[in-house]
Amino acid sequence: MPVALNASTARNCLVVIAVIVAGAAMRWMGDIITPLLLAIFLAVMVDGLARQIRRRAPSAPSGVAVLASILIFGVLLAIAAFIVAGNGSGFVGSLSSHEPKLNALIARFAIGLGLRAETIDQILGQLDPTPYLTFVAQALQGLASTAILVLIYLGFLIASRHAFERKAVKLFASREERQDAMLVFLRIRDGIERYLWIQTVLGLVIAVASWVVMMLIGLDDALFWAFLIFVVNYIPIVGAVVAIAAPALFALVQFDGYARAGILLACLFLITFVVGNILLPRMQGHSLNMDPLVVLLSLAFWGALWGLAGMFLSTPLTVLTMVILAQFPGSRWIAVLLSADGHPEDLGRPTAEKA
């Protein structure tokens, strides 16, 4: 009995050490891993759209459907780049035009906190811009290199997708093992596709409704804010807070008084509340079966590990982790804790089947 206890303790210690080493390795190799993961999830979206095209046009060859899916995503990315380039400079210019209002707000908050009021020029004059310019330049360079790596990885993933099927056949000796592996793969793929599809549709609904409200109120650069709201909605919890608070704070700077900023804040909160509590449950005919606390913790964990990219990938990576852990008896208890109802194997099944 003591020998078995010691063996169990040693195994648990090895697992803890392995997790720590794996986390350190992922942090160290983040610049390589995050572009690959982003490319994988983009490939999942491209493949999902290609299958939808083939479903509606069964006579279309597989290569044509994939090419059409790539072209559609390329057009969407070009539109996004046009929105950012066309409205980003106007957004920066509008900030400079509101400098007197910014100075007044800073003075008001400083007096309320018992601090010495300073203007924007005085605050910026006390800062050494050199480190910040270097940081911005490095960030832009890193963003450009990451985008290039993502596109390169995506191209190779799409080009080699048929080779993966042949490798899977060689990897598993028996037909039963291949079927079990394929079932796990389909559950992971369907869970990630469902999450990305739901977030895209809901983000678009929130962005369009917010754009209408911002246009009616008269907020400057409403299209830029709507695009920002659409993007940040891919980040759980934090994205919704940013989407509500950021435009309202800018309205506080642009307009005199608090009325329009308060109306905008209330409208954006109402839009997010309605979409999250009415549309989201209706769209989730298949639940991700993830505990809300796990969503928050995964956001913090992957965000601390890989920054903003980790926040975007937090929910898909947690879905992937939960499905894989549920396949092994020794790690199934972790998947049970990650799930919402204690049944991680229910991921990917219709709600009616769970009942």
User: What is the DSSP code string of 49-78?
Assistant: HHHHHHHH-TTS-HHHHHHHHHHHHHHHHH
Rounded to the nearest 5 degrees, what angle is found at the Cα of 314, between the Cα atoms of 77 and 343? 125
Alpha helices in 275-355 (DSSP H): 280-283, 292-325, 332-338, 351-354
CB 323 within 8 A of CB 346: no
In this predicted structure, what is the pLDDT of residue 268? 92
Dihedral angle sign, alpha carbons of residues 175, 181, 185, 188 = positive
In this predicted structure, what is the pLDDT of residue 213? 92
pTM for the full predicted model: 0.72
Average pLDDT over residues 123-137: 49
Please say if the pLDDT value at position 288 is more than 70: no
In this predicted structure, what is the pLDDT of residue 266? 93
In this predicted structure, what is the pLDDT of residue 351? 42
Q: pLDDT of 36-51, one tens digit each?
A: 888 888 888 888 888 8
Compute the distance between CA of residue 163 and CA of residue 165 in angstroms, rounded to an integer: 5
Residue linked to tokens 């070009």: 78
**Phi, psi of 286, rounded to the nearest 5 degrees:** -115, 120
pLDDT band for position 118 (cuts 50, 70, 90) = low
Q: Which two tokens stand for residue 269?
A: 């909160």
Helix then strand then coil, % of the chain, to nearest 5: 85, 0, 15
Average pLDDT over residues 163-176: 71
Q: Is 194 helix (H, G, I), strand (E, B) or coil?
A: helix
Q: Is 4 helix (H, G, I), strand (E, B) or coil?
A: helix
Give the amino acid at 169.
Answer: V
| Other CB atoms within 10 A of residue 183 CB | 12
